[in-house]
Amino acid sequence: MLNEREHERKDAGTPAAKDADRTWRGAFRVLWSATVVSRFGDGLRKTAVPLLAASLTSSPFLLSLVSVVNYLPWLLFGLAGGAVADRVDRQTAMWVTDLLRGALGCVLAVLVATGHAGMGALMLVGFALSSLQTLFDSASTSMLPSVVPADELTVANGRLSVARTIAETLVGAAVAATLFGAAPSLPFVLDAVSFLAAAVLVLRLRLPPSSGTGADRRRASRSLRQEIGEGLAWLGRDAQVRTVCGTAWIASTGMGAYGSTLVLQLTRSMHTPVGLYGVVMAGAGVGGLIGGLVAARVTRALGTRRTLGASLLACGTGVALLAVCPDYRVATLLLAVVYCGFMVWNANETTVLQQRVPDDLRGRVFAANHTLNVMSLPVGALLGGVTAEHFSLAAPDLVGGALLLGGVLPIWRLTSLDSPADGVEPSAGPVEPGTAPPET
C-alpha cells in the first residue's frame, strides 16, 4: 500500500497527470460558470416573482400558491426526471433544458413588460420552470463525476455550493430588488438571458465519450416505471447510501420544523427590528459560504463519516440552542453555525452519492433522494407549526434539534463511506442496472 501511494505521488508530477489535471479543471470552470450564471438568474426570478405577486394580489393564500408550485414538480416529476437523465446524454439534457427555460423566461418577461402577467401566468410559468429543473438538476449532479476526479468531488461540490449561494441568495436577490424598482420586467429579462447564456456554456463542455451503450440497450426494452423502480431499489439496497439518505430525510424534517416559525420567533420572541431581519438571514448565509469553502478541508482531516456526523452535531446543537436564545444577535451566530454545518453536510452527501452509485443509475438515485428530501420539508413545517401552536415558539427548535441530533449516531456507526462503493468506483464504467455493490 505504501509503495502504491509513493507511485501515485510520483505519477501526479508527470506531464500526463498535469495535462489531466488541467483538463478537468478547465471543464469544471465551464460547469462552475454555467452554474453561477444560471443561479444568478434564479435569484433574480425568485425575488422578483413575490414582489410582482404582491403587487397583483393581497390574498395570502394566492401568494402561498406561488411558492407551492416551485415544490410541486419535484413531487410529481422528480423520479421521472432522474430516469430520463439516465436515459439520455446528460450534457444534451442540460443545454436543451436551459434553452427551454430561457424561452419560457422570455415569454414571462414579455407578459410582465406588457402588463399581461397575472397570478395564473406566474404560477403556470413557475410550474413549467420547476418541472424542467427536475431533469436539469438530476443530469448536472449525475454528470459531475465525468468532469471531476473522484478524490476532488468534495472540493467541487463545496465550490458549487458556494457559487450557488453567492450568485442566487446574495447577488441575484439584491440586484433583482433594484431592477424591479426601476422596471418590473427587467429582472425577468435578465433571468431569460441567464438561461440562454448557461446553455451556451454547457455546450462548451468537453466530456469523455460515454461507455454505457450496453446499459442503453438493456434499458431500451424497459418502461420508465421499471427504471424508476430500479433507482428506488438501489437506494434502499445499499446500506451506506440508505443510512446517509435516510438521515438526510430526517434532518430535512428537522430543518423544516424549526424554519417554519423562525420568522415569528425572531420578530416576536427576540424582538428583531424589521430592518435587521435581512441582516440576520444574511449572517446565516455567510455561515453557509464558510461551510462550502471549508467542506473539503474538514473532510480530508476527519474523513467523510466523521465529517457528516460532526456537521449534523453542529446543526442540531445550533437549532436546539435557538430555543433559549436571548436575542437576535446571538441568533445570528447560531444560524451561521447551522448553515455552515448544513453546507458541509450537503457537499459530503452529494459526494457520497456521486462516488457510490453506478453511473447508469445515478440520475434516478439522486432524483429519488432529492424528491424525498423535498417531501420532508413540508412535513417538518407542519410539525413545527403544530408544536408552536400548542406549546411555544421555542418548541419547534427543540423538535428540529432532536431530529438533527438523532442522526449523528447512525452516521458515526458506518464503516466504509471513505471508499467509493466499497472499493469499486462506479464512474469507471457502467454497472448492471438494478444491482448494488456488496455491503460490508
Work out the pLDDT band at 177, boundaries 50, 70, 90: confident
Q: Do residues 79 and 230 make contact, with C-beta atoms less than 8 angstroms apart?
A: no
d(CA 320, CA 318) in angstroms, rounded, equals 6
Res 317: pLDDT = 95
Res 438: pLDDT = 33
Residue with the bigger pLDDT between 308 and 266: it is 308
The structural domains of the chain, ordered by start, are: 18-206 (1.20.1250.20), 223-417 (1.20.1250.20)
d(CA 191, CA 101) in angstroms, rounded, equals 9
Which residue, chain included where needed, has cell 403587487? 55
Q: Do residues 31 and 198 make contact, with C-beta atoms less than 8 angstroms apart?
A: no
Q: Do residues 35 and 160 make contact, with C-beta atoms less than 8 angstroms apart?
A: yes
Which residue, chain included where needed, has cell 438533527? 404
The one-letter code for the residue type at 86 is D
Listed in sequence order, the DSSP H helices in 267-327 are 274-302, 304-321
8-state DSSP, 57: -
Mean pLDDT of 212-221: 46
Q: Is 7 helix (H, G, I), strand (E, B) or coil?
A: helix
pLDDT at residue 14 greater than cutoff 70: no
Mean pLDDT of 405-412: 90
Q: pLDDT tens across 305-321, in order?
A: 899 999 999 999 999 99
Nine-digit cell string for 353: 452519492
Q: Do residues 72 and 130 make contact, with C-beta atoms less than 8 angstroms apart?
A: yes
Q: Do residues 158 and 293 make contact, with C-beta atoms less than 8 angstroms apart?
A: yes
The one-letter code for the residue type at 142 is S
Q: pLDDT tens across 324-370, in order?
A: 988 888 999 999 999 999 989 988 888 888 888 887 788 888 888 88
Res 278: pLDDT = 64
Distance from CA of residue 310 to its chain's centroid? 20
Q: pLDDT tens across 233-259, in order?
A: 887 777 888 889 899 999 989 988 888
d(CA 48, CA 356) in angstroms, rounded, equals 39
Work out the pLDDT band at 427, boundaries 50, 70, 90: very low
Q: Do residues 355 and 426 make contact, with C-beta atoms less than 8 angstroms apart?
A: yes
Q: Do residues 427 and 359 make contact, with C-beta atoms less than 8 angstroms apart?
A: yes
